[in-house]
Amino acid sequence: MHFLPFLFVGAIIAGATMIPSSKNNGPTIHEFASPVTYSSLRYVNNSGICETTPGVHTMSGYVDTSTTVHTWFWFFAARHDPQSAPFTLWLNGGPGCSSMIGLFQENGPCTVNSDQKTTELNPHSWNTVSNMIYIDQPTGTGFSYGTDTINSTYAAAPAIWRVLQTLFSSPEFSAYRSREFILATESYGGHYGPKFAQYFEVQNNLIAGGKLNGIQINLVALMINNGWIDPLIQNQAYVTFAQNAPGYGPLVNESTVKRMNDSYFKSNGCLTQQQACYNAGNSSSSNGICSDADDICGSLYLDAVGNRDPYDLRQNSSEAFPPEYYVNYLGLSSVTRAIGATSSEYSECPYPPQELFARTSDDARTLLPQLGNVVDSGIRVLVWAGDTDIICNWVGNQAVVLAMQWSGKAELNATPLTNITLSGKTIAAVQNVKKFSFARVYAAGHEVPAFQPAAALAIFKQIIAGQPLHSV
């Protein structure tokens, strides 16, 4: 791995040092030293890669929060009214999976063609209506590189907050610091989303009280797409969903369902072990207890999936939609050079970050209490799920939100799912209570915007407008 050295000399802007520089006749690298976080920013403006809409500003590069931690980001200004459009952070899950997945396969400005060398504009890109930033975290994920010490969702929250503080303290991003901020997450984002949102609010209160020097994040909405939120509930949902996936029928035979029920309910089975993990809290023995729960509950997922694609029950495990064309595209030296990526290579879902999370059994822990607190904080929250996903299926997602403790719990449980349409076509079944919405998106797998791009954009527009989900 290699990176560009810092050159902290030149003009002073608002207490920061900023210099454009060019290495080996490559793109101009801009550098900035944050007076707020003492971190650094280096980036390329308008690379011409992916977003080719005339006049749309882009930035890509690194937030260097230390000499050994270099976090990759890629920013796309809104195609319409960037001066007033909100600011959305998209995070993929894993843990340790790159947000370039979301950028190129789901809701970013372009998709990569089958030649793996060219792109075409995505008319349903979320930067149609919002300024969008995609960040690879934790360290070692995607184009991010350096020394990774992040071993849990709780440890990841301060790290991403510091990245945002560095960005918003820079001249390039200062215009966005007071914008309405949307946190949009997927998959393991069911862990990231609730904790990050809660952490942002804690930091905002410290800043407001004069106890912390920083920039408040104006968080107005949280979106969790096919999230992994509460293992106790979602492991049981593997049994329910495999027995009969609504609209698609049984995924497994009766003997497999019996085995799965036995695995979940038997003495010292998944239910018992998972509850023991919750009861252990953050005790010194909790890692081992939660690891035992992980081990025994893992069979439920494997049985539910069988030989199907875990992200789309309509495909078998050898099929792949959306295609992975973008991975080879990001391996082209002409592309990485243009966008300012200095990591030795792109890594979509590398093992080392996952291993650190595994040591604390982070995925066996629930983030449902935090989600309930976020929902009750008054921001708009959407939990939505494609109905052909197995791994974080919609039945489990709905069971989670119905169990959530918050002021609207009774009303949500009494609210039936109601279909909504887009141009006369049914796209989702939804529940709206106060500022919370749940949606089952029809005919969509794990990456909802990849399968239903128009529907996903329509739903996104309603969330950023602060509206309950409705027909358009």
Q: What is the DSSP letter of 416?
A: P
Structure tokens at 131: 């300024």
Alpha-carbon distance values, 454 to 288, 444, 457, 471 (Å) = 44, 12, 5, 13
Beta carbons of 303 and 259 less than 8 angstroms apart: yes
Location of structure tokens 């459009």 = 85
SS3 content of the chain, % helix, strand, coil (to 5): 35, 25, 40
Beta carbons of 397 and 433 less than 8 angstroms apart: no
Q: At what angle do helices 286-305 and 231-243 cross, to 10 degrees?
A: 10
Phi and psi angles of residue 408, each rounded to the nearest 5 degrees, phi first:
-105, 15
Location of structure tokens 């912390």 = 212
Structure tokens at 22: 């060019």
Residues near 115 by Cβ (< 8 Å), separated by ≥ 6?
none
Contacts for 416-420: CB closer than 8 Å, 24+ residues apart: 420/469, 420/470, 420/471, 420/472
Which residues, in sequence order, are bridge partners of residue 276? none
Catalytic residue check, 21:
no
Dist CA 174 CA 148 (whole Å): 28
Dist CA 389 CA 444 (whole Å): 7
Dist CA 134 CA 98 (whole Å): 9
Q: Among the options 187, 263, 343, 347, which is catalytic?
A: 187
Residues near 207 by Cβ (< 8 Å), separated by ≥ 6?
213, 214, 215, 216
Catalytic residue check, 144:
no
Dist CA 468 CA 180 (whole Å): 17
Dist CA 334 CA 49 (whole Å): 10
Structure tokens at 357: 């999370």
Give the helix ranges, DSSP H, for 244-344. Answer: 254-265, 270-280, 286-305, 325-329, 333-339
Structure tokens at 319: 């099929």
Beta carbons of 467 and 435 less than 8 angstroms apart: no
Residues near 12 by Cβ (< 8 Å), separated by ≥ 6?
none
Structure tokens at 465: 């407008």
Catalytic residue check, 446:
yes
Dist CA 310 CA 325 (whole Å): 20
Active site residues: 187, 389, 446
